[in-house]
Structure 1
Amino acid sequence: MREVEIDVQVENKADRVDSVKIGQWKERNEEKDKRDGTGQHLKSKTYNYNSPGSPKHLGEEFNDARENLLNQQEESTDEEDTGVSCSTEEDVESLGETQVKVYTRHRYPTDIFHTLTEFRDSLVLTDLTLSTVDGRTSFQVHSPVLAAISSLVRDTLRHRDQAKSGEGGRSQVPGDETEPEVQSWSLCLGPEVDLITGTSLQLQYQPALSLCLSFLQNEIDPNSCLDVASFAKAYDMKRLLELADGFALSQFERVSRTAKFKCLPAKQLLRYLNSRSLWVSSELVVFRAVVAWIQYKPRKRSKLAKQLMKTIHFALMTFKEFQEVQAADIWAEDNLLVLYKRVSEDFLSNAAIAPSQCRIYFPKETLVLVGGDQITEDLGSRHSSRELWFGNSLRNHTGMAKSLEWRWLGEMPEPGRFSHEVAVLHGQLYVVGGRKYYGAGDILNSAYRFDPLGSVWQRLSDMHEQRCGFSLVVLGETLYAIGGDSHRGCLDSVERYCPATDAWSFTCPMSMALTGHSAKVLDQLIFVCGGFDGGYRCRASMSLYHPERGSSGLAEMSRPRGYHCMEVLGGHLYVAGGVTTDEGDAMATVHQLACEAYDPAADCWTAFEALAVPHVGAASAVTEGRFYVLGGSGYRDHANFHMVHRYDPAARRWENMGGMPGPHADIRAAILPKFMPSKMHHALNHSLTSFPQYQYQQSE
């Protein structure tokens, strides 16, 4: 027989039982010099009881000790008044200094481990199997523990017990395949998984928690993301909160149309609106969301209208979008008239936007024009440009007419350039080579990189060759400058630029020197089309260029072509604009209006609808599944063509997209991720009233 000694602090009316210690751990209670009203010292009292030696009866040992203790406590006459349990007054008076007696047994940890192992193996501690409906994930838990704080488990356990038959306690419910001595059962989790997540968090039961988090992540949608965000914040689940917030920001337009969005706390709404990760198609989406939120509880929320409207960049709206802002019902409130005037002023504001207000737009593409050459109206002079413009929006007019609305993005570093090339890698714009004027020494080999989010230009290493009239393509993580003109004539050389090392190096040359050609990458292959050879004869060639093996010929176009545009669209290469040789005089060149598309799989060309006007040395780009040709000039009279045309392969026709700003000839275009630069004051310094000349349409 073993003697277990339980140390209890016995106190008078003003005191309480301090601790009960059982077990193998050595613990000490520091001496307490507390006195009752008579100054009597408190002493510890030791209760003894006998216990069997088997560790499997430790629960019984504890219950016996607790029963002895309670029996002694019931003798206290002051229990109801003080809520304190003690022995008799004689015990209190006879107590001296606090005594600590510790029961230890060296085999206790080992015995406990073996006992718990037996419990686990017999499913006593893990009697409940939780699994997903699809059966892919499952784990075992202790159902009484979960039932203590989970209504889902508690109710299911109650129904299970009620369904049991009287024979051996065997379960009669589906999924209960237990033997009488092992009461194991299972529970499938579907949408009600959130009811058990809180339980898993409180118990820090990682398998259950992982299952619940996976379910919430996989099932998140515009209707549930705000609830998930609130749940994650309440339980301080940072990873889940980031996921829910990220979904709400990326799907803000859809989320803002849900009923739950209107119940969003003001602080959380402002956090979303001020986030740099908010994705919307336009500022009008943000305005509609703010108005819907305010009008849900107008009397209370109108006070926040001024603060919320500050998060909307009205200056980036189109005229048509701002007309909807002006017509909104929210301005009928008398207390918002002053705010309405301020919003109107913001629409035409020249103020710069703070970096903290940077916003990423969705869709994530914008058309940017870079540099170019412009002749004055009297053809008396011309100059190269440093300007960058971007297409802010597409406007639909009456009937079939459309136009692009342009904004000034800024300027590239000196000097201005034309007949240059641009490329985009990892969302950053590369501007390389070109000419600054028409002299022999005006061809450039300089290169710059532009970060649109920070509006920062960076000077890069110069090319080995000065180049204009060349092509620049991106293959993998590398840029390739192909052919072109230099001070020593037409080039067959190709240079490769590595952004990681900021270095240019020569690769295998082309089979012939070319300038005025066009090159594009399709399926990780570089295609080179047309151009003028070393004798400045216009070519109809199409070749495949490999940096290590050089050029190999493909099917030729139906006619020679140079200074044209080529873009990849729908697995084909579309070619338009430029010049060609005169059918009556092989040495003469004329405008090329015919258009062709190349099919790499069949190695053949197919004609499509011709252009209505010339585009020589024009810019081109593909966005939203359409082929844009922008500007250019006449080959003989050098007159600028300011028009933008767009080919729609679904409709199989060209559309007039109106005019374009700034220079029109030898200009280049690129598609950048949709952005709002932190320093885009250039785009705002020109108030919208100064843009009407770039917002018109012209009938064909």
Structure 2
Amino acid sequence: MFTCGMKESHQNSISFPCLPAPELEALVGFSYSRNLTISWDSVFEVTIVALQLQFRQAVLLCLNFMEEQMNPASCLDVASFAEAYGLSELLDEAKDFVLRNFREVSTSAKFRDLPVEKLLELLHCDGLCVSSELAVFRAVISWIEANPEERLTHAGLLMSAVRFPLMTFREFREVRAINLQMECFADKNVELYGSALKEFGFSLPNSQDCYRVRKPKDVLVVVGGDQLNCDVGQRVPSREMWFSNSLRSGTGLVKEMEWRRLGEIPDKPKFRHGVAVMQGKLYVAGGCYFYAKDDVMKSAYRTDSWMSLADMNEARSNFSMAVHEERLYAIGGDREINTNTETVEMYNQDTNSWSIYTAGAVKGGIFISGGFDCSYSCLASMFLYHPDRGTTHLSDMTQDRAQHCMEPLRGHLIVAGGVCNLRKFYTDQLACEMYDPEADSWTALTPLPVPHVGAASAVLEEKVYVLGGYSQEDYTESGLVHRFEHSTRRWENVGKVPSAVTDIRACILRLPQHLRH
């Protein structure tokens, strides 16, 4: 089992009422008041008592706390606890968290207490999610250095689980230096560098050990889109939908995405449309099917065997679609080609109807950044919109931009890509920045390596993906997918979009397992 123990105190906690005070106070030792507060200091003991006394409500609350508040310092304890008490769903969640956040987890004190068998199990897993195999090697070294006298005997076995062919030559230089140092330090005949060099230089490039393949529980879905062609009449907008079945880390820094076809939109081909996910269902609305004045749509669909919904009140394209408090909102955009609108519509699934809202907000609303004004100049503005309370003007971005991406990440907002003003023209906006809602301030981030104008974006496993688009400068397609990770603050190329390139839309869905195999 994973090593289990109590963690340092954290601020996160939950409270729940109406639990039998005498039993909990006697068995757990907490003084009982009207509400019992659960934190990382107490959740394991309270869960044990609740399981013994069969307090179902308390058990569910504790399990929800462990899932929702799981972090790199607690996930190994949660895995150990779930394994000990036969909580299979919680164990799966904890193991998945460890694999998704391996680099952060490997720096925790609990990681250095792992039994060698559990460490090997992690290292051998194809789904181990790391930006570089060097992070796996460093994790092994950290584990050995926690108790070198006893653990050096396991070094050779652990090194065999590191996939050295995935490293670059520069990364392998660190392996050489550390392994030779460890060989000199060891009292016994520990040979590490030679075997690592053999794996690095002579393994077959297509063997199973030469890549790691992760299949996230949720998938990235891309919907519709267009392709660039100077001859507008030759463009073929798309009805297709694709999903990323797996993420693959290959030799060196090579990353790939395995795309599979999901189906087609039951409407006309769409680009510049809106997509959103509400209660596990995908909604698709509006957009264009070509470039004429009357080619903007107001239709809407939901993935209940593609149920047709009520039309929006206004046809619109290039708009934002967001979910707030179980309501769907279509915000701004163009009601005709090159004729924009400031209106907002709300979809009520209970009545299958759209209602027009006027702009307006306080905390708990929808953030709106940049875009075009009525004269089609790019804006640097940032607003917080609330359907019932109005609009609050926040600190402007440091850069103006339109046709860009904005996604939430760890309590912040990441904006990337798009176009910006250049005298009387537009140019590619490569600059990226991050908004802090608490401080109402912006911080510059690493720029995008290539232009992404009219790209799609989504957040999968706490990483921001920007997909496709084009370059305003030379009007070439950018079929690449770039991924931003908060811990490294860098963008990396992870593959290409499967079909249409520009004005596509993306979202995150959980698909039935039969579609994944």
TM above 0.5, yes or no, is yes
1:620/1:630 contact within 8 Å kept: yes
2:420/2:428 contact within 8 Å kept: yes
Find the partner of 2:454 among 596, 609, 617.
Answer: 617
1:495 partnered with 2:345: yes
> How is 1:340-359 mapped onto 2 (pairs within 5 angstroms)?
none
Cα distance in 2 for partners of 1:223, 1:552 equals 48
Q: 1:647 to 1:247 in 2, by over 3 A?
A: closer
1:495/1:505 contact within 8 Å kept: yes
Match of 2:330 in 1: 481
What is the Cα deviation at residue 609 of structure 1? 0.8
Q: Residue type of the partner of 1:416?
A: P
Find the partner of 2:284 among 428, 431, 452.
Answer: 431
Q: 1:323 to 1:547 in 2, by over 3 A?
A: same
What is the Cα deviation at residue 376 of structure 1? 6.0
> How is 1:6-25 mapped onto 2 (pairs within 5 angstroms)?
none
Match of 2:433 in 1: 596
**Which deviations, in whole Å up to 9, do the C-alpha atoms of 1:48-70 show, x marking residues without a partner?**
xxxxxxxxxxxxxxxxxxxxxxx
Q: Residue type of the partner of 1:506?
A: I
SS of the equivalent of 2:499 reads coil
- TM-score, length basis structure 2: 0.60
1:644/1:657 contact within 8 Å kept: yes
Cα distance in 2 for partners of 1:209, 1:434 equals 52
> How is 1:280-299 mapped onto 2 (pairs within 5 angstroms)?
none
What is the Cα deviation at residue 522 of structure 1? 11
Larger displacement relative to structure 2 (562-571 or 488-497): 488-497
Find the partner of 1:580 among 420, 425, 434.
Answer: 420
Q: 1:652 to 1:135 in 2, by over 3 A?
A: closer
What is the Cα deviation at residue 364 of structure 1? 3.3
Match of 1:543 in 2: 383
Cα distance in 2 for partners of 1:377, 1:676 equals 40
Q: Residue type of the partner of 2:321?
A: L
Q: 1:558 to 1:245 in 2, by over 3 A?
A: closer
2:284/2:302 contact within 8 Å kept: yes
Gaps of 5+ in 2: 1-22, 32-44, 63-77, 98-124, 128-203
2:83/2:91 contact within 8 Å kept: no
Cα distance in 1 for partners of 2:249, 2:302 equals 34
SS of the equivalent of 2:332 reads strand
Q: Residue type of the partner of 2:296?
A: I
Find the partner of 2:318 among 445, 458, 469.
Answer: 469
**Which deviations, in whole Å up to 9, do the C-alpha atoms of 1:443-497 show, x marking residues without a partner?**
011111115xxxx211111100000011111111111111110138210111111
Cα distance in 2 for partners of 1:646, 1:522 equals 31
1:593/1:612 contact within 8 Å kept: yes
Cα distance in 1 for partners of 2:330, 2:309 equals 14
Match of 1:509 in 2: 359
Match of 1:42 in 2: none
1:225/1:247 contact within 8 Å kept: no
Match of 2:512 in 1: 676
Cα distance in 2 for partners of 1:503, 1:390 equals 29
SS of the equivalent of 1:400 reads coil
Q: 1:210 to 1:676 in 2, by over 3 A?
A: closer
Find the partner of 1:632 among 469, 478, 493.
Answer: 469
**Which deviations, in whole Å up to 9, do the C-alpha atoms of 1:153-174 show, x marking residues without a partner?**
xxxxxxxxxxxxxxxxxxxxxx
Q: CA RMSD in A?
A: 3.9
Q: 1:413 to 1:637 in 2, by over 3 A?
A: farther
**Which deviations, in whole Å up to 9, do the C-alpha atoms of 1:305-334 show, x marking residues without a partner?**
xxxxxxxxxxxxxxx9x9659xxxxxxxxx
Query: May I ask how many residue pairs the two structures share in their alignment?
Result: 353
1:375/1:381 contact within 8 Å kept: no
Q: Residue type of the partner of 1:569?
A: L
Q: Residue type of the partner of 1:598?
A: Y
1:618/1:668 contact within 8 Å kept: yes
Q: 1:620 to 1:458 in 2, by over 3 A?
A: same
1:388 partnered with 2:241: yes
> How is 1:644-663 mapped onto 2 (pairs within 5 angstroms)?
644-663=481-500
Over the matched positions of the two proteins, sequence identity in percent amounts to 44
Q: 1:324 to 1:253 in 2, by over 3 A?
A: farther
What is the Cα deviation at residue 551 of structure 1? 2.4
Q: Greater CA radius of gyration, 1 or 2?
A: 1
Q: 1:611 to 1:136 in 2, by over 3 A?
A: closer
> How is 1:403-422 mapped onto 2 (pairs within 5 angstroms)?
403-422=256-275
Q: 1:136 to 1:556 in 2, by over 3 A?
A: closer
2:365/2:387 contact within 8 Å kept: no
Cα distance in 2 for partners of 1:421, 1:530 equals 17
What is the Cα deviation at residue 573 of structure 1? 1.3
**Which deviations, in whole Å up to 9, do the C-alpha atoms of 1:570-613 show, x marking residues without a partner?**
2221111000011xx2x211111111112222222221111121
> How is 1:241-280 mapped onto 2 (pairs within 5 angstroms)?
none
**Which deviations, in whole Å up to 9, do the C-alpha atoms of 1:116-148 show, x marking residues without a partner?**
xxxxxxxxxxxxx9x9644789xxxxxxxxxxx
What is the Cα deviation at residue 245 of structure 1? 7.2
Cα distance in 2 for partners of 1:369, 1:210 equals 43
Match of 1:444 in 2: 297
SS of the equivalent of 1:504 reads strand
Q: 1:669 to 1:599 in 2, by over 3 A?
A: same
Gaps of 5+ in 1: 1-128, 138-190, 195-207, 227-243, 255-282, 286-319, 326-360, 511-520, 685-700
1:384/1:436 contact within 8 Å kept: yes
